[in-house]
Amino acid sequence: MKFINDWRLIILLCLTLGLAPFFPEPHILGKIRWLAGGAVGMSAMDYFDVLLHGFPFILLIRLLVLKITSKNAA
């Protein structure tokens, strides 16, 4: 489980899987706009796609929270 706390790997995942495909816009941004607009017409596959492309960012937020809380505890 060491890889889940590796900054370099998580940032690489965010820049590749999280933002792919890059053109015409990052895929996750289009899905977030779709969700913010009411998610009209979204299927189960679209929700899975949001989870797949958003998971690296969830890991990054988790790592940031762990880093901040460990500084406060020390």
Asked if residues 52 and 10 have their Cβ atoms less than 8 Å apart, the reply is no
Domain boundaries, the chain: 24-74
| Count of other CB atoms within 10 angstroms of residue 11 | 15
Q: Alpha-carbon distance 71 to 26, whole Å?
A: 33
Q: What is the value of pTM for the model shown?
A: 0.83
H/E element, 50? helix 44-73
Residue 72 is encoded by which pair of tokens?
A: 């406060």
pLDDT in tens, 19-73: 888 888 888 999 999 999 998 999 999 999 999 999 999 999 999 999 999 877 7
Asked if residues 57 and 16 have their Cβ atoms less than 8 Å apart, the reply is no
